[in-house]
Amino acid sequence: MLCPAAVRALPRLRHGMMLVVTMSQSAMHETLAFAADGDDPGESQHRAIALARARWERAAQDAHARMPPRLKRFETLSGVEIPAFLTPADVEIDYLRDLGVPGEFPFTRGVQPTMYRGRLWTMRMFAGFGTPRQTNERFRYLLAQGQTGLSTAFDFPTLMGYDSDSPRALGEVGVCGVAVDTLHDMEVLFDGIPLDQVTTSMTINGPAIVLLAFYVALGDLRGIPRDKLGGTVQNDCLKEFIAQHAWIVPPRPAMRIVTDMIEFCSRELPRWNTVSISGYHIREAGATAAQELAFTIADGLEYVKWCVARGMNVDDFAPRLSFFFDVHSDFFEEIAKFRAARRMWARLMRERFGARDPRSMMLRTHAQTAGVSLTAQQPYNNVVRVTLQALAAVLGGTQSLHTNSLDETYALPTEEAVTIALRTQQIIADESGVANTIDPLGGSWFVEWLTNELERQAMDIIARIDQIGGMVEAIERGWPQREIAASAYRLQRQIEKGERVVVGVNRYAHAEERRIPLLKIDEAVQREQIESLRRVKERRDAARVRAALEAVRRAAETEQNLMPPIIDAAKAYCTEQEICDVLRSVYGQHVDRPEF
């Protein structure tokens, strides 16, 4: 039984939370020696920890003399130097200020009070290839396998605002996603799928307003009230200029289009996430975790700034902003990144924009395992990589998750590969036990320290963006693009020098690689899609098409919201390229900076 002085010497966290520490008998005596009656328990704890650390440093020196460290520098994938171990004295945490409880500001521990104890994350596998009919079959297959949300990948012509019969589309139709040219394609794509019972994500950016208009028009034709349509359109033009380079107009007109969409959806589509603010592509382009975090949050702040300047109330639209993060291979860094992102967004929304609705401060996020981490060499290793990344996303508190398939370095996934990727999520959900408690790594000294460190680094980057004048100005100057390029170069050099191990590539390689089955996109897809488009053009009312496109032009040249006339153009079966060409003719086209 401990004496009263010993009880007072037990370390306490702030706000009355007790931390139980086990010590050796000699260490306990050293601790109690500092804990005279009247001593502050926290001060006693810090002195005891300092003694323990000094003992460890002596022991570590002896150990290193016998066995030197296996690495010159221990660091995260992003280059954050990792301490050997951490103690309460190393981590400045005010529990209620910095962590709180799940579902409450600053949401570090999760955006929902019960998190996965109430409902698991949405298992939303990215899917799309070939014709709308082929992708519809894949959608139905995934739903039958237990997927809980749809995620649509579009082919490159669609992503760039060109129709399948455009000379620019030659050889690309249906190759990296599904081809969608008109409302007819959307009708086929979602044939037999109840739009008011599933949520649909559409990964499209420059022409996002057109694809969303197609989806809304489809709902209208089916008689589904707009307030029953739920889903997400990526619609993140800023990350396109930073990282992915798929756009239709320059940055400032693109921001006007996004603002129109947010304004329209806040009135008409209350269940729709208007922008999926995407760090994923920024990280895939070579950014560090801190850069991904900073540039993504800064993009979100820029969208909010433009909407507020339009005269919108922040609490009317901010609850429907969502996020999309990469989950890379450094397990703890990724968990810390998600936790830091929630805390940063909550504080910045309250401090900069005066948000009052808690939902405006919640960073809700989709996550996808890191495509750039997958290797063509020894592709079955990718199953292990994806599993660890998916586990990090869940421990980090994601709301939705896509797991990459093992064959995606070669082609779009086969049914077998995509089923393994989906089963990975289901095994984590139903067999691992990690979904049974909320934020299970919260309170880990390392995780809390790393959360703080990533937040500190990211806030320094955001401060630099603020000095430049905001994200649009920074993009026009090419600053984030240069920072990402430099980070990508550093990482690639580390891999080439063998300083960063990639299993099966620069270590443990095989002389001969095992072949795996691949999904093939038949060249007949392009012919079939072009023929379908030709029939649509023959059947539609040409006068109605001309009038609809002219209405889009008038709206683009004025301050009229673009969504209503583009929905009307969709119902007239105007093509995606016809609508995008109107926007290009009014706003001009963007050319990337010559330094790249």
pLDDT classification of 39: cutoffs 50, 70, 90: low
Residue 488: pLDDT above 90? yes
Q: What are the structure tokens assigned to 579, written together?
A: 């609508």
pLDDT classification of 222: cutoffs 50, 70, 90: very high
Q: With pLDDT > 90 as the criterion, what percentage of the chain qualifies?
A: 85
Least confident of 30-39, 372-381, 480-489, 567-576: 30-39
Query: Between residues 416 and 45, which one has the greater pLDDT?
Result: 416
pLDDT classification of 20: cutoffs 50, 70, 90: very low
Residue 240: pLDDT above 80? yes
Shortest CA distance to 242 belongs to which of 296, 304, 166, 169?
296
CA distance 47 to 52: 9
Least confident of 20-24, 191-195, 369-373, 377-381: 20-24
Q: What are the structure tokens assigned to 501, written together?
A: 């191990």
Shortest CA distance to 259 belongs to which of 228, 229, 298, 302?
302
Residue 431: pLDDT above 50? yes
CA distance 255 to 268: 20
Q: What are the structure tokens assigned to 136, written together?
A: 């519809």
Average confidence (pLDDT) over 507-528: 88
Average confidence (pLDDT) over 315-336: 97
Average confidence (pLDDT) over 360-386: 97
Residue 27: pLDDT above 60? no
Average confidence (pLDDT) over 484-504: 96
CA distance 327 to 338: 9
pLDDT classification of 595: cutoffs 50, 70, 90: low
CB distance 273 to 359 below 8 Å: no
CA distance 188 to 190: 6
pLDDT of residue 14: 35
CA distance 289 to 56: 31
Average confidence (pLDDT) over 16-20: 33
CB distance 378 to 510 below 8 Å: yes
pLDDT classification of 514: cutoffs 50, 70, 90: confident
Per-residue pLDDT tens digits for 107-157: 999 999 999 999 999 998 888 999 999 999 999 998 999 887 888 999 999
Cα separations (Å) of 544 from 155, 213, 534, 569, 577?
Answer: 28, 17, 17, 8, 17
Residue 468: pLDDT above 60? yes
Average confidence (pLDDT) over 43-52: 87
Least confident of 14-23, 91-100, 478-487: 14-23
Shortest CA distance to 375 belongs to which of 404, 413, 406?
406
Least confident of 13-17, 389-393, 459-463: 13-17
DSSP secondary structure letter of residue 507: B
Cis-peptide, bond into residue 106, ω within 30° of zero: yes
**Burial tier of 255 (Cβ tally within 10 Å: 0-12, 13-18, 19+):** buried
Q: Where are the beta strands (DSSP E) in 134-281?
A: 150-153, 199-203, 230-233, 272-273, 275-278
Determine the straight-line distance between the first and last CA of the chain, rounded to whole angstroms: 70
Query: What would be the CATH architecture of the domain defined by 107-497?
Result: Alpha-Beta Barrel (3.20)
Domain boundaries, the chain: 4-68, 107-497
pLDDT of residue 522: 85
Per-residue pLDDT tens digits for 253-303: 999 999 999 999 999 999 999 999 999 999 999 999 999 999 999 999 999
CB distance 429 to 435 below 8 Å: yes
Least confident of 35-49, 72-86, 230-244, 336-350: 35-49
User: What helix, strand, coil percent values describe the chain, rounded to 5?
Assistant: 55, 10, 35
Residue 525: pLDDT above 60? yes
- Please write down the long-range contacts of 473-479, taking CB distance under 8 Å and 24 or more positions apart: 474/298, 475/238, 475/241, 475/242, 475/251, 476/251, 478/593, 478/595, 478/596
CA distance 300 to 302: 5
pLDDT classification of 594: cutoffs 50, 70, 90: low
CA distance 278 to 296: 6
Instruction: Write the DSSP string, 392-430.
Output: HHHHHT-SEEE---TTTTTSSPPHHHHHHHHHHHHHHHH
pLDDT classification of 326: cutoffs 50, 70, 90: very high
pLDDT classification of 16: cutoffs 50, 70, 90: very low
Residue 18: pLDDT above 80? no
pLDDT classification of 38: cutoffs 50, 70, 90: low
**Burial tier of 133 (Cβ tally within 10 Å: 0-12, 13-18, 19+):** middle
pLDDT of residue 590: 86
Shortest CA distance to 87 belongs to which of 444, 489, 494, 547?
444
Residue 30: pLDDT above 60? no
Chain mean pLDDT for the chain: 91
CB distance 68 to 62 below 8 Å: no
Residue 198: pLDDT above 80? yes
User: Strand, coil or helix: what is 207?
Assistant: coil
pLDDT of residue 519: 87
Query: Between residues 125 and 19, which one has the greater pLDDT?
Result: 125
pLDDT of residue 383: 98
Query: Between residues 548 and 147, which one has the greater pLDDT?
Result: 548
476-486 as b/e: b if 16+ CB within 10 A: eebbbbebbbe
202 bridge partner residues: 152, 233
pLDDT classification of 466: cutoffs 50, 70, 90: very high
